[in-house]
Amino acid sequence: MDNPGRTSIQATVKSVCSISYVSEKLQVSRPTLYKYMDLYDSGGRDRVPTKVLRFFDYLTSARRSEDDAILYFIRESGREEGPEPSQREDPVPVTCRIGGDRAMVLFPDVEDPSDVEVDVSMEIDGMMTVIGRYRPQPGRSFVTIDDLIPENTFYYTVRTASDGRVLAGPTAFSVGGDRDGVRPSGARPSRRSRRPGPLGTGSSS
C-alpha cells in the first residue's frame, strides 16, 4: 500500500459486502478481483480496469454501507443497459407512504392506472430478485404492499403492464425500525433479476 495508515481496499470491500457479490457484479473472477485490489493498494491504478477502478474509488470516497453498494450497481446497470438520461422520458411523480410493515405506492398522475404494475424487489444471494408484483384495484391509483419484513431494503419499480415501460423507479424503501423511509435510486433494475418469489402477485387493499 502507498499509505501504511490507509485501510486496504480489500478490507473496505469486505466491510461493505461479500467478495463473491462484488466479483459477480463487476463480472470478474474472485482471483482476478483480488489481483485488482492488490494493484489498487500498491499504486498500480493504471492497470485496473475502469469499471473496477470506479467502484473502488466510490467505496473509498466516503463511508459506505451495503445499501450504498447495492444502489451503486443498480445505477451502473441502468447506465450500461438503458438509454442516455437525456433520451428518457420524465419520470411519473410517484409517492410512497409507509406505516408498520406496509407500504402504499401512489401514482395519481398516471393517465391509465389500470395499466400500471408495481414490482417489488430485494437483494437475495447477490442478485436483485422480484418478490412481488402488484396491480391496482379498478378505479384506484395506488397499490398496497403488505407483510414486509422490517429493517430490510426493498425496491419498487412502477411500469406499464402492457409493454413493461418503466414509469418510475427503482426506488429503495424500508419499513420499521430506524431505517423507515424512502430513497430514490435513479436507475433501472438489472435485466438479470429473478422472477417473482415468495410474495407472488398481489393487489392493493
CB 141 within 8 A of CB 113: yes
CA distances from 14 to 11, 28, 123 (A): 5, 16, 17
CA distances from 129 to 28, 109, 146, 149, 199 (A): 21, 28, 17, 15, 11
Give SS3 for 27: coil
Omega of the bond leading into 93 within 30 degrees of 0 (cis): no
Q: Which residue has the cell 415468495?
A: 198
Q: What is the pLDDT along the chain (205 residues), one digit of tens a residue?
A: 445 557 889 999 999 888 888 888 888 888 999 999 999 999 888 888 888 999 999 999 988 888 888 888 777 765 544 444 434 444 567 878 877 777 888 888 888 888 888 888 887 776 778 888 899 888 888 888 887 887 778 888 888 888 778 888 788 888 765 444 444 444 344 434 444 433 333 444 3
Average pLDDT value over all residues in the chain: 75
Q: What is the pLDDT of residues 71-124, one digit of tens each?
A: 887 777 655 444 444 344 445 678 788 777 778 888 888 888 888 888 888 877
- Domains within the chain, CATH numbers bracketed: 9-64 (no CATH), 86-203 (2.60.40.10)
CA distances from 3 to 8, 16, 21, 148 (A): 9, 21, 27, 44
